[in-house]
Chain A
């Protein structure tokens, strides 16, 4: 993957997102869910987007795909194969959905139609985009179900979603997304609702499908473990912004943003002895209606200095690695980063102000 500010090495990127903002009107004011996100994604590559609830990671993928409600306003630019699609109408987007880009959602139960047979749901987008006879379509549906590793695919075509387990439903979702051979797949927390053993199966399946089709994938998750071994590049989001972006290797070996570091430290690790004290992040994410001035993470950051609260840091490249970007005045692991006070307690009292 490469970044917007870096010329792509092998021709045009499949997806170019530039300074994308998504704002929702609400009773309380404008919710700034995505604020100035830019990146490029090449064919066959995987971008992992990591963040906690409310970081804007899901809104980002929906904004790119044009799946946003009427109260959402988007600005910036989204180019798919060089063509601007941000202001395309729903009608124009229909030719992209399913055919060029597809999405696998978190909850396969609510994402599948409960009153339609599996077969009908798979062939729906085939009929929409490709001129096929009924027999051809059901033959393709059968092949798709086989390719996603569903046992007895023929019988499954006639079943309804409730007759399948969560893992099988997610396989069906993937089959539906793969039906027209999209060039770009959004996987929005595809395994969050699943058990770990099934999660591993589904992630492996996604990877196999991606390799087979040279498809680009945007893998959205809250779990750094899920993206570590499976994404080429990782973007960490906080309060609607990308706060750090790098290759997976570089991100984990030279973490620069204090939020990325804190996020990784707060996860209990298998190799830690039991009863190890966890390094929690005190406080809560900012209110996106009225975000604080300056760095959005500053109120929770152990390294924050005075100017962090006043001035928002730009997304800049690491002096030693132009592909490693971060949004911080005092990046971790650089001489600039000095804990604000020696005694900073990461785990502050819980947001007593409620």
Chain B
């Protein structure tokens, strides 16, 4: 993680979104201190792909999503969408570009205006950009409500408080998709929902993606959810990316010790798996105001040595042809290698 570099990026002409060396800082305190929210993060997404951004609270995953939207613009770095750098756009041009990127937020109820009717909430983007005439907009809204599984005749005139969390998230999806975006940034869209509803919404997102040819950036802390929906996953820790790859490979064979620890901490719904047999990460995430030098995970990593304190690890491919997996670590786990019992004890101490 603590990593830098962009070996994991694909050719610029092949991707819809390419974010390079993103840096986001927030001022804090009186002494000119700053929160290093996102430090030198590079990611890209191909058309039709879903990129999962995963990590614990405070790792900068949501900030990355918002910085792509220029909310607020990053301190430095580039965000190239459809071949144009969004960090250089302002005013009308930026607003126009943003119609092709939409967001879906975590809390479905507070992200809908409680005083407005559902039809107005969904058609707002269309109204602002004067898409078609009134009748065609109404038709579009009704079609979209049907697509997300709500009956327009019943739902249209109601207000958000009359709906459950899952229904509100359906409305949020309708609002995001109705303007015909190419990219949707989903910021923890299912973490406030019960598991049964979560499955409905994940399936709906997959359906919408197929139907409208969408590209997704899916931000979440739940690794199983991220794997389910993603083609590629980037694991973040304390503002940097540790590991990027195909989730089917990365979950089976994590190369970064942090990824391994994170996977090991997930409770498994199987009483035969005793929790005490699995790696446990001790301690807590350090403050982003004064992050550790070098690799940011080194203070909790059983493999850390002097090099990890001195040098920021650079993203590099795992030594295997055609395996989509990149890691930013000085001492990654080799394929087939797991953390040793001594190292597991090191994690826990």
Binding site for B on A (CB under 8 A): 52-53, 165-168, 195-201, 203-204, 222-226, 228-230, 248-249, 251-252, 262-264, 266-270, 272-282, 284, 347, 349-354
Contacts and interface: CB of A to CB of B under 8 A. Distances in A.
Nearest to B207: A277
Nearest to A149: B282
Interface stretch (B21-29, B70-78, B270-278, B317-325): B270-278
B3 interface: no
Contact of A222 (B170, B194, B230, B282): B194
Interface of B: 56-57, 148-151, 154-155, 158, 162-164, 166-167, 170, 194-200, 202-203, 206, 221-225, 227-231, 247-248, 251, 261-263, 265-276, 278, 280-282, 284
A351 B151 CA distance: 9
Contacts of A279: 199
B119 to A, nearest CB: 13
A233 B206 CA distance: 36
B266 A252 contact: no
B194 A53 contact: yes
Contacts of B195: 52, 222-223, 263, 266-267
Contacts, number: 163
B154 A354 contact: yes
A195 B271 contact: no
B207 to A, nearest CB: 10
Given A274-B229, A277-B203, A280-B203, A266 B273 contact: no
Contacts of A352: 149-151, 154-155
Contacts of A269: 224, 269
A230 B261 contact: no
Given A197-B262, A275-B228, A353-B154, 19 more contacts: A195-B221, A200-B280, A223-B195, A225-B267, A228-B268, A248-B271, A263-B195, A264-B269, A267-B224, A268-B199, A268-B222, A270-B223, A270-B224, A270-B263, A274-B227, A278-B202, A352-B149, A352-B154, A352-B155
A251 B170 CA distance: 33
A197 B228 contact: no
Given A204-B280, A222-B194, A228 B151 contact: no
Contacts of A197: 56, 261-262, 265, 280-281
A198 B150 contact: no
Given A197-B262, A280-B203, A353-B151, A274 B267 contact: no
Nearest to A283: B196
B276 A204 contact: yes
B313 to A, nearest CB: 20
A354 B248 contact: no
Given A53-B194, A201-B280, A229-B273, A278 B203 contact: yes
B295 to A, nearest CB: 17
A276 B154 CA distance: 32
B212 to A, nearest CB: 17
25 contacts: A52-B194, A166-B57, A195-B56, A201-B282, A203-B267, A204-B275, A229-B268, A263-B196, A266-B196, A269-B269, A270-B268, A272-B227, A274-B229, A275-B228, A275-B229, A275-B231, A280-B199, A280-B203, A281-B200, A347-B199, A350-B166, A351-B164, A352-B149, A352-B150, A354-B163
Contacts of B164: 284, 351
